[in-house]
Amino acid sequence: MYEAYFGLKEEPFSIAPDPHYLYMSQGHREALAHLLYGIERAGGFVLLTGEVGTGKTTVCRCLLDEIPDTTDVAFMLNPKLTVEELLATVCDEFGISYPDGNTSVKVFVSRINDYLLDVHTRGRRAVLIIEEAQNLSTDVLEQIRLLTNLETNQRKLLQIIMVAQPELLDKLSQPELRQLSQRITARYHLKTLSQKDVVAYVKYRLMVAGLIRGEPFPPAVLKRLFRLTAGVPRLINVLCDRALLGAYVQGKERVDLKTLKTAAREVSGRSARRRSSAGIAAGVLLALACALGGAYYWYGSGKVAAAPAVSVPAEPFAAAGTESAAYQALFGAWQIDYDPHDSRTVCEQARQRELTCMQGTGSLSDLKQMNKPAVLRLLGAEGTDSYAVLISLRGDEATLQINNERRSGRVDELSKHWSGEYLLLWRAPGEYRKELKPGERGPLVSWVAQRLAIGRQPRRTVRYDDDLVHQVKEFQRTKGLRPDGVVGPWTIMRLSALDGGEPALNDGPG
């Protein structure tokens, strides 16, 4: 209802587990890495736990993009089953036939074993993903363990991923389940988001939904949002959705504190106040424990958002670099002029030159992946801030331009000074309107094919088919991007740089 009003192409805060909307906080990155590691170990169990609404299911959906095509995957969404029902469900999900009306455990296990041996013979592997695994009874958990006894001399034939709320950990601590617990080869507990991650999470989802300018959630509102939700992604989605609807109904361009509070009351009544109090205490601990996850977004202001400054060491990156000088240096890298006296914002001036602003909060690894010069806000001593342009990032060494001076030093030293906020410029192709997803059509498909075919004859195509998706995934892997086949801003930046015609942090190919 409010999408067109805010300039969005689709609903940004749906609670559906769409992997394209997965904001990769440090915790979510580590969760995905643990799942992949467990699968690569070829056997046994992988366990992912987390409180309700922390994003476990979405991580699993993202995992499917990473699993090789030679993998057969089965999902079990309702594990409140008897042993016989469990085995029948496993057969149904893998497409294993069994006699009508069969209730024999022996028959089920025999058919499953034959299927797994056939899968192994064909050079494939089988993975069973069980969601809501905390609902599994003890006897069903034991039967699941027995399924992992199916093995050859070299490897187990079935990999099982259990996704559960923390209550499963209590069950696994029982003596009768110690053998299953010992077979867990990788486990990870997904925590809620820190306050900084909540800010990045909201802006990331708005960006994916197509927001290119404006800031529907001001900093003060995002701060209160964290307190109301304690960093639980599902609660953030529900509350943001209701708040945007409230702003739309009132004809407001931004969500204010009053609208957010009203939305909180509508969504959860008095519980919002209780959650707010609990969230403050939780947030203090989480902010200390959680690493800053990468995120990015566009909007039209051009000002790097302010944040509390802290005292940092003076060398080698401490200097009084001005914001104006930083923007001039950034524009200079693109061989265009920035006018500090122009009434238009930085991003508006960039758009006049067919460049797009990308501004957000992230990590140096994020900037390395985007491979573009960026204005950084540095935290100075005694509450003063300064600005610099990151012009080179190679290995462990970073180079900044501060006013007219270039300074180089170790990346870890720069991290001590950097607030985490950046602004960079990139040139989107004229064909770009939104992310390109597998199966879609449009002029951007031809552009992608041409970029990947630099130096050879491009394949003529108007559809983003499986072959081109495979090429994009391989390209994403070589550039350190998530190989999901979705052509979004980060992938387009790296594709645009293939011919070396744009400024880059690392001037190697692409």
Taking only the tens place, the pLDDT of each residue in 435-447 is 888 888 888 898 8
Instruction: With a cut of 70, say whether residue 275 has pLDDT above it.
Output: no
Residue 330 in this model has a pLDDT that exceeds 80: yes
pLDDT band at 63 (very low <50, low <70, confident <90, very high): confident
Q: Which of 77, 40, 44 is nearest to 181 (CA)?
A: 44
164: tokens are 């559960």
Are residue 41 and residue 169 in the same domain, yes or no? yes
Residues 75 and 176 in one domain: yes
Nearest-angstrom CA–CA distance, 381 and 363: 21
pLDDT band of 48, cuts 50, 70, 90 = very high
**CATH code, domain carrying 478:** 1.10.101.10
- pLDDT at position 460: 65
- What is the pLDDT at residue 41? 67
pLDDT value of position 384: 67
CATH number of the domain residue 185 falls in: 3.40.50.300
Range among 235-244, 362-371, 406-415 rated most confident? 235-244
Flag whether pLDDT at 342 surpasses 90: no
Say yes or no to pLDDT of 298 above 50. Answer: no
Secondary structure (H, E, C), 314-331: CCCCCCCCCHHHHHHHHH
Range in 64-68, 137-141, 146-150, 382-386 the model is least confident about: 382-386
Residue 506 forms part of a structural domain = no
With respect to residue 56, please indicate whether it lies within any of the assigned structural domains: yes
User: Given a cut of 90, is residue 184 above it in pLDDT?
Assistant: no
pLDDT for residue 172 is more than 70: yes
**Six-digit token pair at 477?**
């892997």
| Residue after which a domain boundary falls, among 426, 461, 483 | 426
Strands (E), 191-323: none
**Looking at per-residue confidence, does 91 or 411 come out higher?**
91
Q: Quote the domain boundaries for residue 125.
A: 20-190
Which burial class, exposed, middle or buried, applies to 175 when counting CB atoms under 10 A from its CB (0-12, 13-18, 19+)? Answer: exposed
Give all strands (DSSP E) within 182-326, no chain letters: 184-190
pLDDT of residue 232: 93
68 and 55 fall within a common domain: yes
- The pLDDT > 90 percentage for the chain reads 31
Residues 197-237 have pLDDT tens digits of 999 999 999 988 888 767 899 999 999 999 999 999 999 99
Is 6 among the domain residues? no
* pLDDT band at 507; cut points 50, 70, 90: low
The total number of structural domains in the chain stands at 4
Residue 36 has which token pair?
A: 């992949």
pLDDT at 244 over 60: yes
Lowest mean pLDDT among 80-84, 95-99, 183-187, 293-297: 293-297
At 234, is the secondary structure helix, strand, or coil? helix
Q: What is the pLDDT of residues 18-40, one digit of tens each?
A: 888 888 888 888 888 888 877 77
What lies within 8 Å, CB to CB, of 212 at 6+ separation is 7, 298, 299, 300, 356
The answer to whether residue 9 sits within a structural domain is: no
Based on the domain organization, do 56 and 201 belong to the same domain? no
Q: What is the pLDDT of residue 332?
A: 92
Choose one of 426, 457, 481: the last residue of a domain: 426
Closest among 495, 494, 497, 470 to 484, alpha carbons compared: 470
Residues 269 and 382 in one domain: no
> Do both 228 and 85 map to the same domain?
no
- Whether residue 401 lies inside any domain: the answer is yes
Residues 185 and 208 in one domain: no
Residues 6+ apart with CB under 8 A from 371: 493, 494, 497, 504, 505, 506, 510
Which span out of 27-41, 246-260, 263-277, 398-412 was modeled with the highest average pLDDT? 246-260
- Are residues 411 and 328 part of one domain? yes
Say if residue 241 is in the same domain as residue 369. no
The lowest-confidence range among 189-193, 301-305, 422-426, 439-443 is 301-305
pLDDT of residue 316: 62
180 and 225 together in one domain: no
What per-residue confidence (pLDDT) applies to 396? 82
Read off the pLDDT of each residue in 272-288 and give the average, rounded to a whole number. Answer: 38
Look-up: residue for tokens 């499953």?
112
CATH number at residue 330: 3.90.70.10
Backbone angles phi, psi at 381, to 5 degrees: -75, 150
Please check whether residue 305 lies inside any domain of the structure: no
Name the more confident of 30 and 481: 30
Out of 109-118, 275-284, 463-472, least confident range: 275-284
- What integer is the mean pLDDT of 157-171? 90
pLDDT at residue 420 in the model: 77
Mean pLDDT of the chain, nearest integer? 81
Which pTM does this prediction carry? 0.53
DSSP secondary structure code for residue 483 in this structure? -
State mean pLDDT over 37-66: 83
Confidence of residue 315 (pLDDT cuts 50, 70, 90): low
Decide if 175 is inside a domain: yes
pLDDT for 44: 72
Contacts of 177 (CB under 8 A, 6+ apart): 138, 141, 142, 145, 171
Whether residues 184 and 214 fall in one domain: no
Does residue 486 surpass a pLDDT of 70? yes
Answer yes or no: do 35 and 136 share one domain.
yes
Residue 319 near residue 361, CB atoms below 8 Å? no
pLDDT score at 13: 93
Domain boundary among 190, 213, 245: 190
The mean per-residue pLDDT over the stretch 166-170 comes to: 89
Q: How confident is the model at residue 380 (pLDDT cuts 50, 70, 90)?
A: low
Token pair 């990346």 is at which residue? 411
Report the percentage of the chain scoring pLDDT > 70: 85
Which amino acid belongs to residue 48? L
Pick from 147-161, 220-234, 269-283, 479-493: least confident? 269-283
**What pLDDT is stored for residue 233 in this prediction?**
93
**Residue of 239, 263, 276 lying closest to 15 (CA atoms):** 239
502: confidence class by pLDDT, cuts 50, 70, 90: confident
Asked if residue 316 belongs to a domain, the reply is no
- Whether the CB-CB separation of 402 and 396 falls below 8 Å is answered with no
